[in-house]
Amino acid sequence: MPEAALREPSRSSTRRQVIAPVAWGAGATLVLSVLILVGSRNLAHFDAALVGYTFSVLFATFGLTYRYAMWLQRPPTAMYWRRGWQAFLRPGWRRRNAGMWFRRVAEDVVANRFIFARNRLRGLTHMLIMWGCLIAVAITFPLVFGWLHFRPVPGDLSLYEAVAFGFPAFRFPHDSAIAFFLFHGLVWASFLVIAGVMLAVRRRMRDEGAAAVQRFAEDFMPLILLFAVSLTGLMLTASYTWMGGYAYTFIAILHAITVIGTFLWLPFGKFFHIFQRPAQLGVGFYKDAGRAQALAHCRRCGHAFSSRMHIEDLIEVEHQLGFTYEIPGDDGHYQWICPRCRRASLAMAQGALWRGRRGGTPLPDTRPLPMPVHVNPGLRQGPLGVEDADNFYP
């Protein structure tokens, strides 16, 4: 157990750690509230029937900001947050970084490239759910906040007009294909989400690896919520389209409950990764900066194994966490030993205890000691990728 974990935090520091995230959460909620007031022209275009949704989004905003601010207080997160921005805003690198930002957003966020690399079906599953949810959010949030509404055009009742933030945006015939497409936007979104949820549940039912580690609250609850939202939404459409509005009020309340429940769940469960995940963009810039700087050399075998900046940052983070990997003598800190030499050192330490009992002779001491090598770097048994190879199997 790290020493810091054993130390009781003082009451005042605990209070400070909570007050700042609460303030951030309250601030973000206040900003959104003001934007709702302004965007809906002082609630003139606000749909009172959607007030429950609005308050649940406001709560989710508070919860998400609070949790994000709490998360940023963890020593490693704080370090990466700071270093990521420093790397991104580094003088002389800004234009290149801006270009890389667009590229990484396109590849990682829009196209989910890294998830397709894990498994193609898994990539498709995530893509369907992600785009379904994004389309649904893009449609519903402006409606719920009163930022967008539709109205018939005075003098020509065959036309409909979209009004954004109180300004007329565009017109279209209410019986046109574009109207059908727009007014059923949530239906298309629910088709995507339901297909994705079905693929996800299929994987969780068939994959023994997933079955071993999955948990109801973490892995099934989000899928159940997404399915419930999509299904009740579709039931609303079915009710007013084909069933003359049968049980519409009941289904509308049911739909509201599922949507509000999902918003309330946003800050606590798996959905938080939506807000956490963009941190990987910062990691990319941090790694770029590390590659352009001095390398760390293992103090056992002498080979380069990572960026010096990364090792120094990690030493600081470990110190903040209460770890004491300091080594007396020239080695200084265990963090300066490469992963290969750490594994070799484990064997040497065990071998030293068996000395004189199991035979074998220690070979002549030559420093630096040779770098341990993986027994079979081929056949996917060695490094897992280019970075793994660069860092640990040069």
Partner 1 sequence: MPVPDALEFFIDPGRCIGCQACIQACTECDTHKGQSMIQLDYVDRAHSTQTVPVVCLHCDSPTCAEVCPADAIKRTEDGIVQTARKPRCIACNNCVLACPFGVPKMQTKMNLMMKCDMCYDRTSVGLKPWCASACPSQALAFGTREEMARLRPHAKPVNTFQFGRQTIRTKVNIMVPRDAPTDIVDVTASMHEPTIGREILDDVFMERPDGGDA
Output the smallest distance, CB 208 to partner 1, in A: 4
Q: How many residues bind partner 1 (CB under 8 A)?
A: 93
Phi, psi of 113 (to 5 degrees): -55, -40
* Contact string 125-164 vs partner 1 (x = CB under 8 A): ----------------------------------------
Site for partner 1 in 294-333 (CB under 8 A): 300, 306, 310-311, 314, 317-318, 321, 323-328, 331, 333
Whether 271 and 238 have beta carbons less than 8 Å apart is answered as: no
CB of 366 to partner 1, least distance (A): 7
d(CA 162, CA 172): 8
| Nearer residue to partner 1 within complex by CB, 247 or 389 | 389
Residue 103 binds partner 1, judged by CB under 8 A: no
Q: Among residues 41, 74, 90, 308, which is the contact residue for partner 1, using CB under 8 A? A: 74
Q: What are phi and psi of 75, to 5 degrees?
A: -50, -50
CA distance linking residue 263 with residue 276, whole number of Å: 16
Q: Please name the residue that has the structure tokens 């690896």.
A: 209
Q: Which is nearer to partner 1, 116 or 248 (CB)?
A: 116
Nearer to partner 1, 41 or 270 (CB): 270
Contact between 286 and partner 1 (CB under 8 A)?
Answer: yes
CB closer to partner 1 out of 95 and 367: 367
Q: How far apart are CA 83 and CA 105, in angstroms?
A: 19
- Residues 242-271, mask of contacts with partner 1 (x by CB under 8 A): ----------------------------x-
With beta carbons less than 8 A apart as the criterion, state whether 266 and 63 touch.
Answer: yes
Phi and psi at residue 151, in whole multiples of 5°? -145, 155
Footprint of partner 1 on 210-239 (CB under 8 A): 211-213
Instruction: Kindly tell me which of 161 and 288 has the beta carbon lying closer to partner 1.
Output: 288
Range 6-65, binding partner 1 (CB under 8 A): none
| Contact with partner 1 (CB under 8 A) among 234, 361, 378, 394 | 361
**For partner 1, which residue of 13, 167, 358, 378 counts as binding (CB under 8 A)?**
358
Q: Please, which residue, 149 or 287, has the CB nearer to partner 1?
A: 287
**Secondary structure letter of residue 220 according to DSSP:** I
Applying CB under 8 A, does 241 fall inside the site for partner 1?
Answer: no
What is the rounded CA–CA span in Å between residue 373 and residue 344?
A: 10
Burial status of residue 44 (CB atoms within 10 A of its CB: 0-12, 13-18, 19 or more): exposed
Burial 255-281 (b: 16+ CB within 10 A, else e): bbebbbebbebbbeebbbeeeeeeeeb
Q: Looking at this protein, which amino acid is placed at residue 309?
A: M
User: Does residue number 82 form part of the binding site for partner 1 (CB under 8 A)?
Assistant: no
Calculate the CA dihedral of residues 199, 201, 207, 212 and round it to 10 degrees.
150
Binding flags for partner 1, 180-209, as an x/- string (CB under 8 A): ---------------------------xxx
What is the C-alpha to C-alpha distance for residues 256 and 234, in angstroms, rounded to an integer?
Answer: 13
* Contacts of partner 1 in 332-351 (CB under 8 A): 333-335, 337-351
Q: Work out whether 279 is an interface residue with partner 1 (CB under 8 A).
A: yes
